[in-house]
Structure formats: C-alpha cells, structure tokens
Amino acid sequence: MKESLILWLSSLVIVFLLSYFKSVFGEYYPISSTFSVNGQKVSYKLDKYEFGETYKLMVRSDYKNLEGEVIINSEKVKNYSIRLDKDREILFAEINKKEIGEKFNYYIQLKSEDKTYRIPSNEEVNFIFFGRIPKMVNWLYIIFLYTGLVLIIRSGLEIFKTNRRTKNFLVLTSIVLLTFLMMINPLYLSYKFDYINKSIPPIQNLFPIYLLILVAIWIGTTVYVFLKKKDKPIVLIASIICLLIYLFS
C-alpha cells in the first residue's frame, strides 16, 4: 500500500513539473514585468491568446497621471490605436476580434508627464484569438489529457514495484489515450479553431502527428508486452519517450 502510494504521488509530481515547464517555455506564455515611473510601481501582463471574441488588456499603475494606448497591426488594420481607459489603478482596453482580426501583433505606449514607455521595448507581441470552448468539453479535455499522462508515468514506474500489474496499467492507459485521440481531442480542437458549423477541417488538424505517434508507441508497447510477456525495461522506456514527445510537442 505504501509502495503504491509513493508511486502514484511520484506520477502526479512528475506530471505537474512537466506541465509547468511546457507552459513556461511554450510559445503562448505571457510577457509580464514591473517597472517604476517616478518612484511608483507599474505592472503589466501581455497575453498571447484568448478564447472568445474579446481580449481585455490591463496594466496596473500606482502612478496616477499615467496614460496610454495599444498599437495594433494585423491583416485588417495597420498602426491601429486603442486608448487605455482608467479605473482607479487599472488602465485597460478591450480588443475585439471582429474589428482587428483573428491574429495580430501589438504593443503598448505609456505616457507620464515627461516620458514615453514602449512595452515591450523593441518588439511586438504575437496574439491569436481561439474559439470559445464549452466548459464540459474543456473539462473532458483536461481530465483525459492529465489522466493519460499520469497513467503513462505510473505504468513506467510499475517496474519498481514488487508485485507488478503492468498489463493492467497498459490496457487502462491505452483506453484513455485512444478515447482522447479519437473523441475528446478532435472535439476540443474543432471548438478551439472555430471549425464547428463553419468549415470541414483537414484531417491532420484534428489528429496531430505527435499525438498519433505517442499513441502508436503506447499501443505497440502494450502488444509487445502481451505477446512476449516481458515488461522490463520496455514499458519504462516507452513512458519516457511518450513524455518527451508530449513535452516538446
């Protein structure tokens, strides 16, 4: 019992760390920082995506006389300016998908009484609007994705257990991964990229190559273990490969 608990906890910790690193080093991780204007703190977070039709950009400023604007460039508009409104310490602007387009670049210009600040200082932020995803679909995506990852790791760690049940974990993981690949992920991507009731997407857009490879490796490993009746060290190796594919996808 204690041995199993340690392995399950280890699996959860590894999934948490992998997901954290994938998020931090991913292309959609927001740009955030804090700087000083005349001794007063100004903080911002520039997002790179939003689900839905509008994005609310916010800057928090302790400096009362700070003003600003968002400069946007897209296929629809060039050097399009939206003034930042003010509500106490918050400067904000709402960016509308219909006016700007699905993809655009932006930066902020903040003005104090004697100085202008460009954020980011020498680049623009790439932004994309994704489609709105129903809560139930989003929850199913999260549950099946992370359940699959935990089971992949747990199957690999079974090698360190005295009375192994590797075949049980292989079958259970295969069921979760196949359900995610064939049902949950295509539905999630259909909403994310706004295919629902609008267009028929190419098949590769709903079934990413990395996910097909990951599931194929796992199914192949499962078949091998059942045929050869050997799980050392093939399952652990397959787990590591699958996690690396997920991490760098």
From first to last of the 249 residues of the chain, give the pLDDT tens digit: 788 899 999 999 999 999 999 999 999 999 999 999 988 999 999 999 999 999 999 999 999 889 999 999 999 999 999 999 998 899 999 999 999 999 999 999 999 888 999 999 889 999 999 999 999 999 999 999 999 999 999 999 998 887 888 999 999 999 999 999 999 999 999 999 999 878 888 898 999 999 999 999 999 999 999 998 888 899 999 999 999 999 998
Q: Measured in Å, how far apart are the chain's first and last C-alpha atoms?
A: 35
What pTM, to 2 d.p., does this model score?
Answer: 0.90
Contact 127, 106 (CB under 8 A): yes
Domain count, the chain: 2
CA distance 123 to 22: 23
Per-residue b or e along 6-36, where b marks 16 or more CB atoms closer than 10 Å to that residue's CB: ebeeebeebbeebeeeeeeeeeeeeeeeeee
Task: Specify whether 150 is located in the same domain as 91.
Answer: no
Q: Identify the domain containing residue 234 by its residue range.
A: 133-247
Quick one: residue 79, left, alpha or beta (phi over 0 = left, psi -120 to 50 = alpha)?
left
What is the CATH number for 55? 2.60.40.10
Task: Specify whether 79 is located in the same domain as 141.
Answer: no
3-state class of 41 per DSSP? Answer: strand
Task: Specify whether 111 is located in the same domain as 137.
Answer: no
